[in-house]
Amino acid sequence: MKRLKDIGYVIAVVVLLYGMGSCKKDEYYKDGGLAQAKFDGSIMDYLDSKPREFDSIAQIIRLAGLEGDFKTKEFTFFAPRDENVKSLIGLARGNAQHAASGVNAELYVLGRDTIKTLADVDSIIWRKYLLRYMFNGKRKLMDYPQIDFDLLNVYKGQNYTSLGNTVSNIGVVYNDAINDADKNNVTRLKYMGYRQLYISYILDISRPTEWISCPVASSDIQPDNGVVHVIDYTKAQFGYSLFEIENDILESKR
């Protein structure tokens, strides 16, 4: 009898632990945020604390004269990463490992001064493109409406004006929950999977459905003065459109 009681106790503990795991998983899907979302410090402090991802971004912010805003102003920042800046600058001349690339390759061909440090780019240009990523107020993933890129007449996200007076559509993609453990009986639950934030830059507001869309890799990071959503650098360009910022840099180097 005692053994049966012991077995019953073990089963109860296992069921309880499984239930706790399920709750955590459900909360992740509902929330879409990070396990450690809070950051003790300003948005600037957060970026400085992640030099591998944001060292160049932090430098650009200071060059653009925006450090004070990132320390004290309350806003939501869709953060590009250093890899996007590196792709923008590129190499003036190729080498054994890499071909000539980015705006430096164009400057070299045109016989203009190439970019050796980030300070070689006009600070007005850095400011213009950083402001595209900055939006008034604090907004987490749960504060944005749903978007379905295949059903925009129903789930269309919402347009927001940045601090740079550009417009982007921002929305949350509700992915399907797929159970394919049994290959012969795959089940799909519409909109019940993980949720991912997207920001879509509108190049011309007179053509509001022509977008450059970028998924967010990490959402809901919460420093003291705002919210940071980190854009997936593998599917994005700095300033959203390399053509625009490269053209501005080329013109400034005449």
Residue 118 maps to a domain: yes
Instruction: Single out the residue of 114, 113, 110, 56 nearest to residue 90, CA to CA.
Output: 114
The pLDDT score that the predictor gives to residue 36 is 61
What is the structure's pLDDT at 22?
Answer: 39
Computed over its alpha carbons, how large is the radius of gyration of the chain? 23
What does the alpha-carbon distance between residue 33 and residue 192 come to, in Å, rounded to a whole number? 16
Whether residue 31 lies inside any domain: the answer is no
Asked whether residue 246 is assigned to any structural domain, the reply reads yes
**β-bridge partners, 216:** 231
Residue 76 maps to which CATH number?
A: 2.30.180.10
Confidence (pLDDT) at 213 = 97
25 inside domain: no
What are the helix and strand counts (H, E) for the chain? Answer: 8, 9
pLDDT bin (cut points 50, 70, 90) of residue 230 is very high
Q: What pLDDT is stored for residue 195 in this prediction?
A: 95
d(CA 78, CA 240): 11
Residue 93 burial (10 A CB sphere; 0-12, 13-18, 19+): exposed
What is the per-residue pLDDT for 141? 97
- What is the model's pLDDT at position 5? 39
* Average confidence score pLDDT of the chain: 86
Strands 134-136 and 75-79: antiparallel
pTM above 0.75, yes or no: yes
How confident is the model over 4-56, as pLDDT tens digits? 334 343 333 333 333 334 333 333 333 444 436 899 999 999 999 999 999 99
pLDDT at position 184 is 79
Number of domains into which the chain is organized: 1
Is-contact 187 219, C-beta < 8 A? no
- Asked whether residue 181 is domain-assigned, the answer is yes
Residue 189 has pLDDT above 80, yes or no: yes
pLDDT above 70: percentage of residues in the chain: 85
Domain of 102, in residue numbers: 43-252
pLDDT band at 96 (very low <50, low <70, confident <90, very high): low
Q: pLDDT tens digit string along 106-119?
A: 999 999 999 999 99
Q: If you ran DSSP here, which 8-state letter would residue 154 be given?
A: T
DSSP 130-180: HGGGEEES---GGGS-BB-TT-TTT-B-EEEE-TTS-EEEEEEEEPPEEE-
User: What's the confidence (pLDDT) of residue 151?
Assistant: 95
End-to-end CA distance of the chain: 91
Q: What is the pLDDT of residue 120?
A: 97
Residue 147: predicted pLDDT: 97
DSSP assignment letter at 203: S
DSSP assignment string, 174-185? EPPEEE-SSTTS
Question: 159 has which bridge partners?
Answer: 169
pLDDT of residue 56: 97
Inside any domain, residue 11: no
Q: DSSP of 57-123, one letter per residue?
A: HHHHHHHTT-HHHHHH--EEEEE--HHHHHHHH--SS--SS----HHHHHHHHTT-PPPSSGGGS-H
- Let me know if residue 64 belongs to a domain: yes
Specify which of 31-35, 87-91, 136-140 reaches the highest per-range mean pLDDT.
136-140
pLDDT at 20: 38
The confidence score (pLDDT) of residue 179 equals: 84
159 in a structural domain = yes
